[in-house]
Amino acid sequence: MMDRLAVDELITDYATAVDDGDWEAYRGLFTPDGRADYRSAGGIEGEPARVADWLAESMRLFSMRQHLIVNRRLRFGLHDQDTGDTVRVRADYVNPMRLAEDEGAAPDFVCGGRYAFGLLRTHDGWRLREVVVQEKWRRLPSPAPAPVIN
């Protein structure tokens, strides 16, 4: 039960780091050999420092971000013959965001899909070894209606 709570906290820390733009915290969530893959959402794949730099740049478009990560399914596994050293997490997400140019407005960009997280227990606790985003849908801002000419 304690491992399950610790894993849940790590996933929440991941969402919070991305939403708050805390890229140092984001990098610290990963193992040294960690990888993140955002290609299905139009992003990149690579080691956490490189991906954090890409996220920092691309997230500037949005003044508000809010990852809602739900339906978490955990499967504890084996690593080096030691039960419980790894865990696979599948979780759905909805991510409303507001474009920076629309400050104060409701979110106008929303996407959703599924995360696949691979975690490893380290001496410092659970860390992300792999994050794969599978974006399933997105809703873009509606264009402004054309002016009515009388």
Nearest to 126 by CA among 24, 1, 5: 5
pLDDT digits (tens, 9 = 90+) for 48-79: 999 999 999 999 999 899 999 999 999 998 66
Rank 71-80, 121-130, 139-148 by mean pLDDT and report only the highest.
121-130
Domain ranges of the chain: 2-139
| Count of CB atoms situated within 10 Å of the CB of 50 | 13
pLDDT digits (tens, 9 = 90+) for 7-38: 999 999 999 999 999 999 999 999 999 999 99
Confidence check: pLDDT of 106 > 90:
no
Nearest to 103 by CA among 62, 60, 144: 62
Measured CA distances, 127 to 29, 43, 96, 110, 121 (Å): 5, 22, 26, 28, 6
Confidence check: pLDDT of 144 > 60:
no
CATH 3.10.450.50 assigned to 2-139: yes
- Give pTM, 2 decimals: 0.87
Supply 26's token pair: 């984001």
